[in-house]
Amino acid sequence: MRAVVLGGTGAIGGATAERLALSGWTVDVTGRDAAAMPAELAEAGVRFHALPRTDASGIGRLVGDDTDLLVDLVAYSARDVRSLLPVMGSVAHTVVISTRAVYVDADGRHINGDEPPRFAVPLREDNPTLPPAGDDVDPYTRDGYAPSKVAVELAALSSGLPVTVVRPSKVHGRWARNARSRHFVERMLRGDERIDLAEGGRSVDHLTAAANTAALIEAIAGTPGTRILNSADPDTPTAEEIARAIGVRVGWQGVLDLVDAPDDGERGHHPWRTVHPIVLDTTASTSLGYTPVGRGIDLLMDEVDWVRRG
């Protein structure tokens, strides 16, 4: 079996490439910079190719006619998908990574909006989403990102090809481009005696371990189809539980100050802060026979250890 992972040196891409390679797959990954290729992937036999996502011809040559699985982590617009449809048509199955940011609540509020959404949790895949963006929208902006991902999904699913869209929540893992645990790890390692945590530490913002998404992608590879699947960890730790787990891991002896109502709205701000819980329903994923690698609160320590090593 052969897999090609577009954008395969980050958290989800790297975890997927490593898992498949260790399971006996031949795996090729693309990226912009060979220096970003994790040594662990090379040791597992994964091959790196410096190919931008815009080079459809180059990707086509790499994929060839002997690829069983194409995993696309760097499709940010419908145009990106359309450019690769001939390539997608040559593989047995394609997985396109989207985001939970596409969801809207009953009043049309969403995660990147000005007002916090109040979702009926857990969120299923048939929950309403934002309208799709047009080709003139910049997907690399706060306002344009989620609508552009909706457009990605529609372009992929309407192609008539076997495509699975995966919607992860808050991703964590080794090789994460913007590791959310970094702020806490660095403060704890430098010996800060007190760290504030807003919302009393009660916030629940569902985590998604890259390792769990990689396991889901492996399960998807064995059951090609056309569908949308949420990807999130089996547990839903609070922000306080996450921060305390990080502290234990790095041996921090300080105090968490659980702030209920910060005067300036910024005191104790943290990456898992939500006004209302955000939890994804993963029933459809587990129905494929996918089994999580572990709890998010435990797998988060992979990222913590990686950040700690620098």
Q: What is the DSSP string of 20-67?
A: HHHTT-EEEEEES-GGGS-HHHHHTT-EEEE--TT-HHHHHHHHTT--
Contact 199, 239 (CB under 8 A): yes
- pLDDT reading at 238 higher than 80: yes
Reported as a single tens digit per residue, the pLDDT across 29-87 is: 999 999 999 999 999 999 999 999 999 999 999 999 999 999 999 999 999 999 999 99
Averaged pLDDT for residues 280-291: 96
Reported as a single tens digit per residue, the pLDDT across 255-264 is: 999 998 655 5
pLDDT-derived band at 266 (thresholds 50, 70, 90) equals: confident
- For residue 132, the Cα-to-chain-centroid distance in whole angstroms is 20
Residue 264: per-residue pLDDT: 54
pTM of the entire predicted model:
0.96
Strands across the sheet containing 26-31: 47-50, 26-31, 2-6, 69-72, 93-97, 163-168, 227-231
Reported as a single tens digit per residue, the pLDDT across 189-230 is: 999 999 999 989 999 999 999 999 999 999 999 999 999 999
Contact 156, 89 (CB under 8 A): no
Residue 265: per-residue pLDDT: 61
Domains of the chain: 2-179+207-233+278-293 (3.40.50.720)
Averaged pLDDT for residues 251-278: 86
pLDDT-derived band at 134 (thresholds 50, 70, 90) equals: very high
Averaged pLDDT for residues 74-102: 97
- pLDDT reading at 310 higher than 90: no
- pLDDT reading at 186 higher than 90: yes
